[in-house]
Structure 1
Amino acid sequence: MPDRPSRGDDARPIPQRGRPDASRPGHEDDAVYTVDTRGRRRTSSSLPPRERRQERPTRRPDPRDAARTVDGRAQRPERVQRPPERVERVERVERVERPISPVDDAPRRRRRWWRIVPVVLLAWLAFLVFSPLHAWGTVSRVDDIPSGERPAETPGNTYLLVGSDSRDDLTAEQRKELGTGSAEGRRTDSIMLVHVPAGGGKSVIISIPRDSYMPIPGHNRNKVNAAFSIGGPQLLVQTLEQVTGLRIDGYLEIGFGGFADVVNSLGGVDICVPFDMDDPKAHIDLKKGCQVLDGKNALGFVRARYSDPRGDIGRADRQRQFLGAIMKGAATPSTVLNPFRYWAFTHTAAGAVGVGQETGIRDAANILLAMRGAGNGSTLSLTVPIQSANFQTAAGSSVKWDTERAKALFTMLREDQPLEAPPAGTDGKPSEG
């Protein structure tokens, strides 16, 4: 058996059981040397031929593996298990800016619009409230509080509305254009009581013919128009309070010039003229039918007496008709939605009127709402019950009231009884034949 190569310091003879020991004398020829290969990897050269053929090819050594010796034995370094690498997949999203077409931007614009709508509405409502409040600060005050004893306060509110024919604030050109003449002093072309009930029912506008014959405190009996000429608003309020028994809670007066300006600020008013009206004294020539009247023609329409067969009674009816028309025009979308026209109307109206010392903006609002109702039927439009439209007196031809019916009407108003229809005798027709 050929000698096996030495493996180094670790090769030493190991006695074999059942075999002669070569280290003993006399047995050199039979000595057998074995090499302890425990703990070492068996190579193909150390395997028997049969096993060598069946051996699988081994992996080539990794040069990175460094061999080390422990106790004289070659040891394979332990491999360090590396944790699996965590591969994070980062997706890069590139934002590509592209122009937005008007079609794509439409929903976005709509969203922006709906956000703006509440702001616009609030601003508009604030403007609608602010404009009349600001205009109210420009009104002129008149002394309307009468002296002496006054009637007790009633549950509702009663206001005196006066149309003055004063020309003091008109120039010569305006007097000529409006046909007001050149008469001096102050008179009333229209006198109305506006009653707003507290317990329900409709508001009432009652026309008082300016030629109504009645006692004037301190001045005997005369036409009611004379009370205004003699003592102004104070005496007129005192006279009507004593005759009607109603406490007058507010006073509002408008003159010729202001009347025309208010109409023009609205761009005219729609009026249905009941018949052809050719009245040189009122400077009008109007045809029957519905039409838009400017300030000049509207003033002539409410002042005309001689072209109306009913005289002063017919004029009172047209004045109430006109009040409803002017308030209807003030509430139209063309006025309310036009800030310039709305501002012009509120401030022109405020500059054209004079209000009583104790008349507040709430009182003015009650008057305007009642005037507006005259055009849609929510306000009763009446004339004080009349017995005669041609009653001969020391003051000339006058209007005599139907005393019993007039007392009944004013009693209902004092007691705040609800009215849903005009009482008998309030249609302006005299009870005498």
Structure 2
Amino acid sequence: MSPQPPSFDPTNRRKRPSANDAKNVGHGGEVPRAEHTQVFKPEDIPSSEQQRPVAAGQASAQVPPSYAPAGSRQSGEQYQQAPQRPSEPPRGNQPPGPPPAGRRPRKKRRKWPIVLIVVLALIIGWPGFLIIHGNNKMEHVDALSDAADTPGTTYLIVGSDQREEDGINDGATDGQRADSIMLLQVPESGNAALVSLPRDSYVEIPGYGASKINASYSLGGPELLVSTVENLSGMTVDHYVEVSMSGVSSLVDAVGGVNLCLDYDVSDKKSKLEWEAGCHDADGDTALAFSRMRYSDPKGDIGRAERQRQVVSKVIKKAASPSTLINPVKQYKLVDSAATTLTMSTGSGLTNMAGAALGLRSVMGDDGLMGAPPISSLNYRTPSGASAVLLDPDTIDSFFEKMKNGELTQDDFTDLG
């Protein structure tokens, strides 16, 4: 007789643990498991089988989840079925899914570094261009002597009255003369000073004897004029700057005109200056006539030198104004006009001219030192009978010594009232 298989209760496939088993678990024992027990995972059971109702007394096709050890859950606690894994979509013809995520958009590069580089290039490059342009266009002349250097920086600024077609001839002088002579000294310490030397000053001209100082330019050009001024002042000229008097017109127009003042009426046929007492805005032609007029001036050549300094100071002030400094068009026009109008000594350029402009600006301020040197007579008769300006022989040497060392005061200048 074949052995009978043990009875099998389909509703209870696993033997429940007894109290003794729980004690054994607590002491490290193992819970006996029912034989022939197989644990099924919920996902292994078809969904149709999971939802099929089970009749009473019928073996259930659904395998309940395995029990946890006794004491690990409360009595009557039901276990939740584990979530099903999403079924894979059918292969083959299936609708396309969402497009793959695109590349991360590139950040826009900031433009301000490029703009900054361009601005810096303009700030640095534009002045350099102006200097190169001006130096290439400017004329140079051999004017300096080989005399030993003296302290400070000395500029000789000369207005030439070349008889140009558009110039203003205020006399019967033939050839080329030095119409305006100004000596600017920027000392190593002390105050800068500007001295206007009357063009009719009676001085010693090296190699020619005593004569009017402007005759030295006619006799030997800029080089002889420089030697004559050095012989008179005891200072060595470092930079020679010459401006044609007719070029004053273009410089004034380049800065947009200047405001000039004169306290008396003028109607001068030689210079063609028509002026009503007071201050007026002047264009280039008017400023040129204003600078050259002397026969209608009660102080003659001294008064003309004062008006010339006024024109120079107003041009420099206008050139250094913000309206010019921030306007590239005005800057170019001014540099171009200056380069065309000015002639400088060999080796000098616009940077040296800028140094002279700074010196002129300081001496032409409210506390600046400028004027005429000590004068003994405005109507000195030379041996030939010509009228000239005689400098004071007793004080002229000490005057220039103070000027060289930056020790001049306004009281040292001639006051002709």
The interval holding the TM-score normalised by the smaller chain is 0.7 to 0.9
Q: Which residue of 2 aligns with 1:158?
A: 154
Task: Report the alpha carbon displacement of residue 256 of structure 1 after superposing the two structures with TM.
Answer: 2.5
SS of the aligned residue for 2:218 comes to helix
Tell whether the 8 Å contact from 2:134 to 2:350 is kept in structure 1 after alignment. no
Amino acid at match of 1:260: S
Describe the shift of the 1:9–1:257 C-alpha distance in structure 2 as closer, same or farther (beyond 3 A). Answer: farther
Which structure 2 residues correspond to residues 104-115 of structure 1 after superposition, within 5 A?
Answer: none
Distance 1:264 1:210 in 2: 26
Which structure 2 residues correspond to residues 51-70 of structure 1 after superposition, within 5 A?
Answer: 61-62=60-61
Which structure 2 residues correspond to residues 353-392 of structure 1 after superposition, within 5 A?
Answer: 353-377=342-366, 379-392=368-381
From 296, 304, 308, give the equivalent of 2:293: 304
Describe the shift of the 1:9–1:322 C-alpha distance in structure 2 as closer, same or farther (beyond 3 A). Answer: farther
Q: Deviations over 1:328-349 (max 9, x none)?
A: 1111222222222210110111
Tell whether the 8 Å contact from 2:239 to 2:345 is kept in structure 1 after alignment. yes
Describe the shift of the 1:256–1:407 C-alpha distance in structure 2 as closer, same or farther (beyond 3 A). Answer: same
User: Scaled by the length of structure 2, what TM-score is found?
Assistant: 0.72
From 203, 207, 224, give the equivalent of 1:218: 207
Amino acid at match of 1:127: W
Identity %: 35
Tell whether the 8 Å contact from 2:195 to 2:372 is kept in structure 1 after alignment. yes
Task: Report the alpha carbon displacement of residue 83 of structure 1 after superposing the two structures with TM.
Answer: 8.9
From 331, 334, 337, give the equivalent of 2:320: 331
From 169, 194, 197, give the equivalent of 1:205: 194
Describe the shift of the 1:379–1:222 C-alpha distance in structure 2 as closer, same or farther (beyond 3 A). Answer: same
Q: Which of the pair has more CA radius of gyration?
A: 1
Tell whether the 8 Å contact from 2:271 to 2:292 is kept in structure 1 after alignment. yes
Task: Report the alpha carbon displacement of residue 268 of structure 1 after superposing the two structures with TM.
Answer: 1.2
SS of the aligned residue for 2:394 comes to helix
Tell whether the 8 Å contact from 1:409 to 1:423 is kept in structure 2 after alignment. no
Amino acid at match of 2:9: R
Are residues 1:190 and 2:158 paired? no
Distance 2:58 2:209 in 1: 145
Which structure 2 residues correspond to residues 12-411 of structure 1 after superposition, within 5 A?
Answer: 36-37=6-7, 40-41=8-9, 61-62=60-61, 116=115, 119-120=118-119, 123-146=122-145, 150=147, 152-167=148-163, 170-171=164-165, 174-175=166-167, 178=168, 184-199=174-189, 201-377=190-366, 379-395=368-384, 396-411=386-401
Task: Report the alpha carbon displacement of residue 82 of structure 1 after superposing the two structures with TM.
Answer: 7.7
SS of the aligned residue for 1:413 comes to helix
Q: Which residue of 2 aligns with 1:413?
A: 403
SS of the aligned residue for 1:190 comes to strand
Tell whether the 8 Å contact from 1:323 to 1:374 is kept in structure 2 after alignment. no
Tell whether the 8 Å contact from 1:164 to 1:186 is kept in structure 2 after alignment. yes
Q: Deviations over 1:231-261 (max 9, x none)?
A: 1111111111112111111111111332211
Distance 1:85 1:274 in 2: 108
SS of the aligned residue for 2:410 comes to coil
Distance 1:411 1:194 in 2: 14
Describe the shift of the 1:63–1:188 C-alpha distance in structure 2 as closer, same or farther (beyond 3 A). Answer: same
Number of corresponding residues: 343
Tell whether the 8 Å contact from 1:268 to 1:293 is kept in structure 2 after alignment. yes
Amino acid at match of 2:60: P
SS of the aligned residue for 1:137 comes to helix
Amino acid at match of 2:207: G
Unpaired runs of at least 5, structure 1: 1-7, 12-34, 45-55, 66-80, 95-107
Amino acid at match of 1:269: V
Are residues 1:427 and 2:375 paired? no
Q: Which residue of 1 aligns with 2:26?
A: none
Q: Which residue of 2 aligns with 1:50?
A: none
Amino acid at match of 1:401: L
Describe the shift of the 1:82–1:187 C-alpha distance in structure 2 as closer, same or farther (beyond 3 A). Answer: same
Task: Report the alpha carbon displacement of residue 126 of structure 1 after superposing the two structures with TM.
Answer: 3.3
SS of the aligned residue for 2:253 comes to helix
Describe the shift of the 1:204–1:218 C-alpha distance in structure 2 as closer, same or farther (beyond 3 A). Answer: same
CA RMSD of aligned residues (A): 3.7
Distance 1:422 1:274 in 2: 22
Tell whether the 8 Å contact from 1:328 to 1:375 is kept in structure 2 after alignment. no
Q: Deviations over 1:135-181 (max 9, x none)?
A: 122111112134xx73x3112011111000012xx33xx24xx4567
Tell whether the 8 Å contact from 2:160 to 2:179 is kept in structure 1 after alignment. yes
Amino acid at match of 2:401: T
Q: Deviations over 1:30-65 (max 9, x none)?
A: xxxxx843xx32669xxxxxxxxxxx9789733799
SS of the aligned residue for 2:125 comes to helix
Task: Report the alpha carbon displacement of residue 367 of structure 1 after superposing the two structures with TM.
Answer: 1.2
Task: Report the alpha carbon displacement of residue 427 of structure 1 after superposing the two structures with TM.
Answer: 3.4
User: Scaled by the length of structure 1, what TM-score is found?
Assistant: 0.70
Tell whether the 8 Å contact from 1:211 to 1:225 is kept in structure 2 after alignment. yes
Distance 1:283 1:60 in 2: 136
